Structure 1
Amino acid sequence: MKYIIGIDIGTTSTKCVLYDQKGTVITHADAGYQLIQTEPGMAEEDPDEIFQAVLTTLKQVMNGIEPDDLSGVSFSTAMHSLILMDENDHPLTRAITWADNRAAEYADELNASDLGAKIYAKTGTPIHPMAPLSKMLWLKNDHPNLFNQAKKFIDIKSYVFFELFGVYKIDYSIASATGMFNIFDLKWEPEVLKLLNIEETRLPEVVATTDSVSGINKEYGKMLGIKATVPFILGASDGVLSNLGVDAIDPGVVAVTIGTSGAVRVVVDKPVIDLDGKLFCYALTKDKWVVGVPVNNGGIVFRWVRDQLFDSKVSYDELTKMASGVPAGSNGLLFQPYLGGERAPIWNAYARGSFFGLTRQHTRSDMIRSALEGIVFNLYSVMCLIEKVTGKPTRIQATGGFARSVFWRQMLADIFDQDVTIPESFESSCLGAAVLGMYALDNIDDLSAVKNMIGITDIHHPNENNVKIYQELFPIWQSVTQVLEPEYKRLAEFQSKQK
């Protein structure tokens, strides 16, 4: 069989890529959807709209190939989503995404208790509103009728698989991002079930990331041109598959991703827990675990800069060109990029953004560069957390939408003071899903086969002059965050009253 499909169900769109068995891109498609934010803290999506995006993109990449030539379809999915299903297997809620902050109160309460620390030590998921555990505590307390009606509590990938196959399954990787799954025993954590007062039967069956399902619904199979014998591999989460898709699966090799949000991740051979509870530990396979930190504020901050300080018609290339005319350090202007609360490094859902050091001499070009530097400063601060557990990185592989910008890539090398490699691989999470699918189907012997599929487009070396400037400014940037943090909640509460 000639081809395999890697499909990534992301926060803003679903991307689907058809590869040959050497990892070469044959064709690709994507379909976007809207984030629903009609009340403070809300960040939901329509699960049926996402499912239609999956169908649409699959149909597009299947166009022109013979059904017999498809060996499998393998999935990557954004983490932390939650959907409640009723007795008739219909959604009671939309998909509540990682960006939803309405569970903040219950995350705070759990964090302040001894139980919160015990749960983190078993699950490897920081206690935060992003996690389905916190979302379920919020629903249980604030919307008990809805909570009690739920037959199943599932994620968006489980929803897609149910629609296609009529089964409720969740892979180790997505399960390990719920805050409800024991990453050492590989099963739902009894203490969490007790806390929520639910039976294990109300959660999906947990299976390996290499597990597969076949026998696609006849109607969808006919629509897509996919035979019932084709296996659909559960796959993993977008974060860990991005590591695989950029060949950051060896010890010491770090993947830095900036898309809408961002993350820094490194692979280890067994689960690792951070005593401070700030790092996540999620599964790729049973013997490959990804330790890392997610941030809320990546490219979405750059979009805010464009839309609010300029015009949505202005291109990002124009903005980075303006920023490139400003020296490193933005003439002493610092930016805290917390426009949507923040996960790492401060794990504060109430965090807010700010410019610090603004004078009459500063220009919009300074503000652009400062915002971009603020995003990377935040990522560097989480790299410092990871180093305490896994050691200093040997190589950094960078990916995400930001990697298209030479200017931003160089900034990453300068702030991290490390060589930064930009893999050629197209849509790293899709490639990661495809490679994991090939491994699951015994088409390759080892995940390291990805080395021959990614290529290298560029390597950026640190500019020593810029490194010195950033090393002087970074402690100030950190201190500003620490000084402002006690006031974030008070300000957030004031803002919520103005809506």
Structure 2
Amino acid sequence: MPRFNIPAEDAQGPLVVGIDIGSGGTRAAVYDVSGREVGKLQHKEIHAFTVDDDGTSTIDADQIVAEIRTALSAVLGHGELPGDVRAIGFDTFASSLIAVDTAGNALTPCITYADTRCHAQVGELASRIDVEDLHERTGARLHSSYTAPRLLWLRKEHPEVFARTERFMALGEYVAFKLLGTPALGTASAAWSGMIDRRTGQYVPELLDAVGVDEAAMGLAIDPDDALPVAGTPLAAEFPQLAEAVWLPVIGDGLAANLGIGALGTGTWGISTATSGAIRQLLDTDIPALPSGLWAYRVDQRRTLVGSAMSDCGRVLDWCRNELAMPFDIDATDTATLFSGPPSQGTPLVVPFFSGERGTKWRGSSRAMFTNVGASTTWKDMLLGAMEGVALSFLRIADQMREAGGEPERIVLSGGMTGAIPGWLHLLSDALAMPIDHVAVSRSTMRGAAVMALEQAAPEIPVAEAPVLARVEPVLAHQDYYRERLERFEKLADLA
């Protein structure tokens, strides 16, 4: 994947630092005003979640703080920088939760979005709250990955910890508290908790009451333009190169991913095709009625990130490679020819819910289904049907995206799965009936955090466009095929 960087001698100021906390590591890098990495000033510290069969998925929050210090030392310790650092952009996986005591110490590990121990509390809250009204107000579903069920679980299963808690913090908020002395929670991260009103940015009172938490124990949502000066903080004492910078309140990794691949304007969809998949769009208009399959996360007073996700995208390709009688090395298969041919009614119809359904109907117990499979069906037919199923999963999300924000002017897409089988984009482009720009930028999520920082450091200067590897045009004659398939897909999905 191309590195989208600029030699240090060519870099133009002001500079910014991007920090990204993902599921597999902590990254930091220096970027110039164009949004390109400066030279080789980037570093990664590897980590992993602690998981258990009971649904546990956690990581030590203080370990993350230490990793950020190490990463900053690595990227700032190479002598004089080619300019002044004016802002620090920061994203983390979302959502997350840490209970913190009156002394500012973590009482719990960071509970990650993947922790499902609060599954029972999801059902309990659903019996007490109008879930459709909650979705319309917060833009989020009632789900184990969000904060409210997690708070209720902590209160019921660990009452002694709950009683000792002074503040409940997201990971990025906790990091700011430890590095700056101020717990800075970005609006875009607070929204990912599923507990704030998408129109006002305030916590939903009924939800706080339902989980037994006072609003004072939750972090105040701060917009990006209310960035915190680093001067006079412990971070400035440790890294004088950052003393003139501002620290942007943390944002979620989904927003950062969109910004990093160039989905900046309101007319652009950003599509991610990694292990899971998503479509996201920044909107600056109100959505009077949010479609049921979408989420809407407030970014600031002006913007909302709208979209939906699916658990099975690259995972579908992985399943095919492992379970079908096909070469495990995907390069040994001529996928370009397989995926660019005319569609056939004989292709298996596949609902690829190997890990349950997220967008659009959020049925976690759903499972994959293969139909129209006969004695003459080959592994190539099965692979084609499975990848058509992924395209149809995106199409059903796209239909609701059009309800919320209209027809997109542009679609940009990135992700490891498409990097492995770029020919698959012919299926997706035909299904969406739209051209797709395949962009590839290494560390694009961290770049998105830097792009957000550049909004504050150099608002008048546009960032460089992410390089387009290929543009795929749809064959409009194939649209009827995918529309007919989607009707059958939805009927099957109701049975999955």
**Which interval holds the TM-score relative to the shorter structure?**
0.7 to 0.9
Counterparts in 2 of 1:393 and 1:108: CA distance versus 1, 3 Å: farther
2:368 is aligned to 353
Structure 1 counterpart of 2:71, one-letter code: T
| Displacement of 1:279 | 1.9
Q: Aligned equivalents of 2:162 and 2:215: distance in 1?
A: 15
Structure 2 counterpart of 1:439, one-letter code: E
Query: Structure 2 matches for 1:374-389, cutoff 5 A?
Result: 374-389=389-404
* 1:320-349 Cα deviation digits (max 9, x unpaired): x45854765695223333333332112123
Q: Which 5+ residue runs of structure 2 have no aligned equivalent?
A: 1-12
2:130 is aligned to 115
1:495 is aligned to none
* 1:157-195 Cα deviation digits (max 9, x unpaired): 112212212322211111112121123222222222222
SS of 1:362's equivalent?
coil
1:154 is aligned to 169
1:4 is aligned to 16
| Displacement of 1:460 | 0.7
Whether the 8 Å contact between 2:441 and 2:466 is mirrored in structure 1 is yes
Q: Aligned equivalents of 1:307 and 1:50: distance in 2?
A: 34
- Residue 462 in structure 1 maps to residue 477 in structure 2: no
Q: Percent identity?
A: 24
Aligned residues, how many? 477
Whether the 8 Å contact between 2:149 and 2:211 is mirrored in structure 1 is no
Q: 1:438 aligns with which of 437, 454, 459?
A: 454
2:26 is aligned to 14
1:259 is aligned to 274
SS of 2:350's equivalent?
strand
Q: Aligned equivalents of 1:40 and 1:363: distance in 2?
A: 39
Query: Structure 2 matches for 1:68-467, cutoff 5 A?
Result: 69-111=84-126, 113-213=128-228, 214-215=230-231, 218=234, 222=238, 226-272=241-287, 274=289, 277-307=292-322, 314-318=328-332, 321=334, 325=338, 328=343, 331-404=346-419, 405-423=421-439, 425-441=441-457, 443-445=458-460, 449-450=462-463, 452-464=464-476, 466-467=478-479
Q: 2:58 aligns with which of 44, 66, 86?
A: 44
Whether the 8 Å contact between 2:336 and 2:424 is mirrored in structure 1 is no
| Displacement of 1:427 | 3.5
2:44 is aligned to 30
Counterparts in 2 of 1:252 and 1:225: CA distance versus 1, 3 Å: same
Whether the 8 Å contact between 2:97 and 2:171 is mirrored in structure 1 is yes
Q: Which 5+ residue runs of structure 1 have no aligned equivalent?
A: 485-499
Q: Which structure's residues are more often helix, by fraction?
A: 1
| Displacement of 1:453 | 3.3
Which deviates more, 167-176 or 328-337? 328-337
| TM-score, length basis structure 2 | 0.85
Structure 2 counterpart of 1:146, one-letter code: V
Q: Aligned equivalents of 2:259 and 2:30: distance in 1?
A: 17
Structure 2 counterpart of 1:412, one-letter code: L
Whether the 8 Å contact between 1:322 and 1:365 is mirrored in structure 2 is no
| Displacement of 1:19 | 1.6
Q: 1:64 aligns with which of 74, 78, 90?
A: 78
Q: Aligned equivalents of 1:216 and 1:296: distance in 2?
A: 43
Structure 2 counterpart of 1:72, one-letter code: A
Whether the 8 Å contact between 1:423 and 1:455 is mirrored in structure 2 is yes
Q: Aligned equivalents of 1:174 and 1:25: distance in 2?
A: 24
* 1:377-432 Cα deviation digits (max 9, x unpaired): 21221111222222232321212333424213333212212111224554433333
Whether the 8 Å contact between 2:121 and 2:149 is mirrored in structure 1 is yes
Q: Aligned equivalents of 2:135 and 2:329: distance in 1?
A: 42
Counterparts in 2 of 1:7 and 1:342: CA distance versus 1, 3 Å: farther
